[in-house]
Structure 1
Amino acid sequence: MFHDIFDPIKERMNYLEFIDKNDRINGTPKLHRLRQIPPETGKFIALMLSASPDGVATEIGTSAGYSSMWLALACIETKRKLITFEIQEEKVKMARETFSKAGIENIVELVHGDARHLISRYTGISFCFLDCDKEYYLDCYEAVIPKMIRGGILIADNVISHAAMLKPFLDCVYNDQRVDAVLVPLKNGELVCRKR
């Protein structure tokens, strides 16, 4: 899947990687930064989506659509669509541009709104990548897990880099009898949960 990346997707990834790198060094305010995952994490979440059972693939926190492109590659491979949620108007506009330029508008459904309230519309979720503002992780988790099928996979980003802030979330997950969970020490830390 990764040896033959479609040219428009690769071009857009390169473009967003350039912007993200500059955002991190030029003092761009946090709210306006892309704050996207590194490529290694992109490959990891795409592989995990590919390995997840058939069902609905979701993402909470689209930003400019960088991680969505990695997930879209897995969706192409597994013949499904990605539903991605973004609350900020500015990021929604950037994501729409990304999906158009990458040629994946027919694979990715962008939902503008708060996933905590909108995820209830979906059932049969087999995969979720959680990468929104950290204070909402627990609420998002509690909204998604009841909608997940057995064997479904939820991945939460930044659990090492934001360990102190995410401690209540992590304590909850590690004690949740509905899932098996493990911390993968890749880059900023990925919490992988599998629905029992």
Structure 2
Amino acid sequence: MTNIVQEEVQQYIRELLPPRDELFYEMEQEAREKMIPIVEPEVGHLLYWLAATKKSRRVLEIGTAIGYSTLWIAKAVLPLEGEITTLEINAPRAEAACRYFKKAGVEEKIKLVFGDARELLYEQTGPFDFIFLDAAKGKYVEFLDKCVDLLQPGGILVAEDVFMRGMVISGEIDKRRNKTAVARLRSYLEQVMEHKSIETIILPVGDGITISTKKDDLSSMSPPLL
């Protein structure tokens, strides 16, 4: 199982998306040529929509790659004089992201921190309105509680690639080294759905995403049965 969404459905949705800036097409081309994983355009548009709808102003991204998802979120956040902090461990990708941020004219409004999220995440101070988790899939479970701690009540946590090319669903693992990551992603999905401080939905968009919102004091109480 490699396609979570049927190709014709995916293509139809993409054809309905609003025209995007030429810079996005350039980044998509580079990602294809260098086999760099970035979110699908429909996921990028969803990130923009979520951040815009919530009027998010303070954003943390864990896993920059070349900055494609960062710039989608920036479309919603920066017009509100918001700020984005994004973490990346891969030097060439961080350099590419900085190049694209400069090309988009937002290099001074996005703080890219180079290093390992296993250390950098715990140096961040909240609260954040929006957190996008797109790091090493085997680390999602490890990062979950800290991400929830950093969110303000009503804030959004989005995790990307939670189906890991369908392997989480099918159990058909292409390489032995992916076995641990698949097991940890399954654990993440269980924990994020059962977590007492957040409400979560799972969507079959792209390669699977979860969207969680942090409860406030009142909504943390279980609702009465109808």
Distance 2:55 2:77 in 1: 12
Q: Structure 2 matches for 1:80-95, cutoff 5 A? A: 80-95=82-97
Distance 1:139 1:102 in 2: 33
Other-structure match for 2:70: 68
Distance 1:78 1:115 in 2: 27
Count of residues paired in the alignment: 182
Q: Which one-letter code corresponds to 1:19 in the other structure? A: E
1:20 corresponds, among 12, 16, 31, to 31
Q: Which one-letter code corresponds to 1:11 in the other structure? A: E
TM-score, normalised relative to structure 2: 0.74
Does 1:122 pair with 2:125?
yes
1:176 corresponds, among 182, 185, 195, to 195
Unmatched tracts of structure 1, length 5 or more: 24-32
Instruction: Give 1:156 deviation, angstroms.
Output: 0.5
48-57 vs 88-97, greater mean Cα deviation: 48-57
Instruction: Give 1:168 deviation, angstroms.
Output: 0.8
Q: Which one-letter code corresponds to 2:72 in the other structure? A: W
Distance 1:17 1:51 in 2: 25
Task: Name the SS of the counterpart of 1:71 in structure 2.
Answer: helix
68-77 vs 46-55, greater mean Cα deviation: 46-55
* Structure 1 pair 188–146 and aligned structure 2 pair: CA distance change class (3 A): same
Q: Structure 2 matches for 1:1-196, cutoff 5 A? A: 10-23=21-34, 33-52=35-54, 54-120=56-122, 121-160=124-163, 161=165, 164=168, 165=182, 166-196=185-215
Identity of aligned residues (%): 27
Distance 1:180 1:163 in 2: 25
The 8 Å contact of residues 181 and 192 in structure 1, kept in 2 or not, is answered as yes
Task: Name the SS of the counterpart of 1:63 in structure 2.
Answer: coil
- Aligned residues: CA RMSD: 1.9
Task: Name the SS of the counterpart of 1:20 in structure 2.
Answer: helix
Instruction: Give 1:63 deviation, angstroms.
Output: 0.3
Other-structure match for 1:29: none
TM-score, normalised relative to structure 1: 0.85
The 8 Å contact of residues 52 and 77 in structure 2, kept in 1 or not, is answered as yes
Distance 2:105 2:42 in 1: 22
